[in-house]
Structure 1
């Protein structure tokens, strides 16, 4: 009940901000890149296809500033990934600048340079083996290691993510990690009820 109530309140706030801005309530401007994700498989299985199975995914990544504060001011940065599945379906994963240590994985941290700071999923997915957080950690400019860990567990690499420049301006891509989770991952019902109203409000703009 509490998740539905809070989610409805957040949806109302996001909808109001979107109507005032005539744009997305958060991450209004960004840069879109072509993305190739190469999965090597998690060293300790999660019983989740996307984490455990080697493969290659192609899609887009959008890097953006959450509130849209002007540079060089720090802002919470976002890395939004969308990929296409083998059956033509779509999968979205959203990351934001967080800490990697157990006490900081649920904290949003303002940062400046999107290519030198770690990102986390902030909220955990559900798998048959338990809850899992995801992270994207840069290795070189344009390449990230993708990691998975239990909420207080050790990070382990399951994929790499390579970005290449995409010609043209920012694109109006709508991401929804609640409706389009990766194969084998799902949201705990309370978290889905908390998050989805905000994304629904953004989609209506």
Structure 2
């Protein structure tokens, strides 16, 4: 068994144990859910993927959560999960967690306290036609209770460039948490893929999460 497959199997075992102990999701057990609008302006540096390079707009659903479920005000690794449908109705999921933005910190999970005041990153890179790309969401100033995040893209050591914004309506008044199962392996972003070695590491953990959490039952526009 190669190293990436062995690591994935080990992670799957850990996630399975946690899921059994919690009788549900192994991570991010509770969250806050919001309606949002994803507006793509396009990256100034083309990646060869239309979703990053070209303008567009999608209705979306965003869930903020704490990875370990630690009670506030204790710091925790925070998560920002976004899901939307493409024009043909196909679903796409993006999962981000609190990381740093500098090259050395983009691959490090950082415990934080405030959901709407910290940057989130993809931690691991996607593969675009023109190379590996990391994604990040950085908050802008809140206006009248709404919050906007800038979506950024960069190579693992390159400069961040904005390609979209996510406008979250009424962040002070979240909807009740929903039985949503985000899965970026089964629902990848348009034009982006996971490097095969990373897929082998991630897939067992997401397989456990699929078994532990119900499916997303509601449909959304794009």
Answer whether TM exceeds 0.5 for this pair: yes
Moved over 3 A (4+): 165-168
12-21 or 101-110, larger mean C-alpha shift: 12-21
Q: How many angstroms apart in 1 are the aligned matches of 2:40 and 2:79?
A: 21
How far the C-alpha of 1:168 sits from its partner, in A, is 3.9
1:111 paired residue number: 112
| Number of equivalent positions | 205
How far the C-alpha of 1:57 sits from its partner, in A, is 1.1
2:128 paired residue number: 127
Give the RMSD, CA atoms, in angstroms: 1.0
2:218 paired residue number: none
How far the C-alpha of 1:182 sits from its partner, in A, is 1.1
Q: How many angstroms apart in 1 are the aligned matches of 2:86 and 2:141?
A: 27
- 1:59 aligned onto 2:79: no
Q: TM-score, normalising length from structure 2?
A: 0.90
- 1:192 aligned onto 2:193: no
Q: TM-score, normalising length from structure 1?
A: 0.98
Task: Structure 1 unaligned segments of length 5 or more: list them.
Answer: none
Q: Counterpart of 1:140 in 2: which secondary structure?
A: coil
**1:133 to 1:167, Cα distance in 2 relative to 1, 3 A:** closer
Q: How many angstroms apart in 2 are the aligned matches of 1:133 and 1:111?
A: 20
**1:167 to 1:95, Cα distance in 2 relative to 1, 3 A:** closer
Write 1 or 2 for the structure with the bigger share of strand.
1
